[in-house]
Homo-oligomer: A and B are copies of this chain.
Amino acid sequence: MAEEEVKVFRSWSSAFGLRVIWALKLKGVEFDTVYEDLSNKSPLLLQYNPVHKKVPVLLHNGKPICESLVILEYVDETWKQFPLLPQDPHERAKARFWAKFGDDKVLQSIVFGILFKEGKEQEEEIPRAMEILQHLEEELKGKKFFGGEKIGLVDLALGWLAYYLGIIEEVIGLKLIGQEKFPLLLQWIQEFSTAPIIQENWPPRDKLIAKFAASREAVLARGLK
């Protein structure tokens, strides 16, 4: 293969960046990482993602690709080894459905509805979150990973849950899921979070706890104004 420029702009803590890192490493693609300070974004990041001004950005031979799920599809189309999406169009559609569900529903509920809320609002969100997670529990029936026997696109899209959910539980002082109702999801969390390549790329737990606690405080303080 000719020498390629593959660069990932990301932050140390963002789970969206992890998706990209994991995908490239699972495929054995070499790349450079540019760590962005999100309070002082680099001119390059603003140039490569002028619309959202956000990480992650994948730069491939001078061309930027933005939005982590879009990047995963790009990576999968560009480097064929270790496919992230199945071959069959209906199975591909199902994977895209669950990846989207992860961002639109799971992330919205757990992060914006629970981590960044308190009191009655948070309380009211919890049963909704349980209902949302129950769909994941169902989807895992008879499977080790969302992708089946191997990690796939849905696992990478939902991957944050396997590590960040425990951190969120610690920050808010509440256990959200237990063995009784979510045995398959807990099994998946165990399998995914400790899988090769996945495990060695998690950010330090204590730093994440501090960061999430600070973000939560800042958001709640803004809400109380």
Binding site for B on A (CB under 8 A): 51, 60, 63, 65-67, 69-71, 73-74, 77-78, 89-90, 92-93, 96-97, 100-101, 135
Let me know if A92 and B77 touch, CB within 8 A.
Answer: yes
> A97: which B residues are within 8 A, CB to CB?
51, 65-67, 70
Let me know if B135 and A100 touch, CB within 8 A.
Answer: no
The one of B51, B66, B73 that contacts A135, using a Cβ cutoff of 8 Å: B51
Protomer copies: 2
> A73: which B residues are within 8 A, CB to CB?
92-93, 96
> A70: which B residues are within 8 A, CB to CB?
93, 96-97, 100
Cβ of A80 to closest chain B Cβ, rounded Å: 11
Let me know if A65 and B51 touch, CB within 8 A.
Answer: no
Which 3 A-B pairs rank lowest in CB-CB distance, beginning with the nearest?
A74-B93, A77-B89, A70-B96
> A69: which B residues are within 8 A, CB to CB?
100
In the complex, besides A67-B97, A69-B100, 12 extra interface pairs with C-beta distance below 8 angstroms are A60-B90, A63-B90, A65-B93, A65-B97, A66-B97, A70-B93, A70-B97, A70-B100, A73-B93, A74-B92, A77-B89, A78-B89
